[in-house]
Amino acid sequence: MAYKCAVCGKAPVSGGSYSHSNMRTKRSFKPNLQKQKVMLDGKAQTAYVCTVCIKSGRAARPTK
């Protein structure tokens, strides 16, 4: 399974970590994914969803 949001497709991106002496090392920025039951393609599924989608309401929870 890829480390990716099931709703928006947000995935890790790479960048630089800078020290006090401005030396650069590679690092990755990962999205904050949470395991949650969501409606995907009209079905209730458990998927990893980023917190931005949860807060905005794009990741709709299934109704009972």
The yes-or-no verdict on residue 31 having pLDDT over 80 is yes
Q: How many CB atoms lie within 10 A of CB 25?
A: 8
The yes-or-no verdict on residue 52 having pLDDT over 90 is yes
What was the pLDDT predicted at 63? 86
Overall average pLDDT of the 34-44 stretch: 94
User: How would residue 13 be classed by pLDDT, with cut points 50, 70 and 90?
Assistant: very high
The yes-or-no verdict on residue 56 having pLDDT over 90 is yes
Q: Pick from 45, 53, 46: which is nearest to 9 by CA?
A: 53
CA distance 16 to 27: 6
